Structure 1
């Protein structure tokens, strides 16, 4: 039986029993093989764009003796599936912008999909915003650290009440006296923000460090545009610092 990294295991734990899965950008097809070996998925499609990863995925499936359960297909994004063919989609290990591009280009293929489990390496904010705009409810989110890298896993479900659920999820709220608006919740995670996980705090402290470096670079310029951008970033840093401080004052209360 294959094993999974902590990152992929977090995704696997949220694939419902009996799912018809499409794993987009499957690489070595580790996730579909893991799920099939444990009887979690009824069927799976492992999608890969490039020839090398496609061949690696095909080899993994063949060696596991799972060709009757997992079909490896080569194609771009959701091109590898037909409408109504799967009910769960996983996309992991790529940037948020690319994930959004894949979902946007293949949005017609999502009509029967009930759950998406998305793991952007960067650009989580972009993915959350896409989910809101397309009436997907972010039911859970997780932050993990593995091999010195920090990852977020977003679990999104189809729901007839998605608009109302999203309105509630991203509604402006008070956290230890600090007003946190929709945009800040989308940026920092509506669940993660109130859980104040040490890994989440580390992620945003790292972000503050990056922003400070940008401020230092901008400060060397006397251009008005540079000064304005510097002020914008400094305001952003103050906002992040305040949210971190306030989130640490309260117990997890929004789940």
Structure 2
């Protein structure tokens, strides 16, 4: 399902199912920065819906920056959306944004952007993150830097299941409390997804099991002590994941 946005000049466009779900976690009337905005579709959708007070679309590369700038002008939204070229959070000043969105990148890259932009995170009330992979790395970063997970979601778009993580400053341990999972496993499966028994979580667990079974198969021929230790560890992990599935 896609949502249609209409600019002031009548220009129409469609927002993907993935980005429509990301937009759901942006609070009303906030100052928003979209890092890696590409065509600025997410921000322009939020403006067309009357959801944001103002926005910054940031892009590090010239091509995507031009795409975003051209779209904003074509939609007549240049007063609401400032398109800026720069690396990560350097496109905003400390205190300028209340919500930061980063979607469509790897989890490690998103964590790196947040790491390098520590000063710009001042005054930010919410992070809305959609990693394409590396969700564990990102959950660890949030946990280690004082950002409490307040929501998690899975959304299927084009046959691919995407993860959405929403975090605010707070008690990082709270989502991991009263959950019968080791912290390492909880960070991989998603503590809120697990508690809420998200309808797509079973597929995620099955994929994790299949991935570990493939690795275990590759290790079967290894005779070194290191390979044997890794094999034993994987077998123990697999047992845990199979119990989760049940």
TM-score, normalisation: structure 1? 0.88
Shift of 1:207: 1.7
Unaligned runs of 5+ in 2: 1-5, 7-12
Give, in whole Å, the separation in 2 of the partners of 1:232 and 1:79: 41
Q: Is 1:106–2:140 an aligned residue pair?
A: no
Aligned to 2:133, the other structure's residue is in SS state coil
Instruction: Classify the secondary structure of the residue corresponding to 2:227.
Output: helix
1:74 aligned to which of 63, 75, 85:
85
The aligned runs of 1:235-246 (5 Å cut-off) are: 235-245=236-246
Distance (whole Å) between structure 2 residues aligned to residue 113 and residue 189 of structure 1: 23
Give the CA RMSD over aligned residues: 1.3
Q: Structure 1 stretches (4+) deviating beyond 6 angstroms?
A: none
Give the count of matched residue pairs: 235
Indicate the SS of the match to 1:17.
Answer: coil
Q: Deviations over 1:90-139 (max 9, x none)?
A: 00001110000000000111111101100111111111111121111111
**Which residue is 1:197 aligned to?**
198
Q: Distance in 1 between matches of 2:239 and 2:166?
A: 29
Q: Deviations over 1:13-42 (max 9, x none)?
A: 111111111000001100010011111111
Q: For residues 203 and 137 of structure 2, what CA distance do their matches in structure 1 show? A: 20
1:191 Cα deviation after fit: 1.1
Under a length normalisation based on structure 2, what TM-score does the superposition of the two structures give? 0.92
Which of 6, 16, 25 is the equivalent residue of 2:27?
16
> Distance in 2 between the 1:167 and 1:90 partners?
23
Structure 1 SS opposite 2:223: coil
**Contact preservation (8 Å) 2:106, 2:134:** yes
Mapped to 1, the partners of 2:116 and 2:173 lie a distance apart of 25
Q: For residue 172 of structure 1, report the CA deviation from its aligned partner.
A: 5.4
| Alpha-carbon distance between aligned partners in 1 of 2:63 and 2:41, rounded to the nearest angstrom | 15
- The 1-side partners of 2:92 and 2:101 are apart by 13
1:237 to partner: Cα distance: 1.1
For 1:227, the equivalent position in structure 2 comes to 228
The answer on 1:168 being equivalent to 2:181 is no
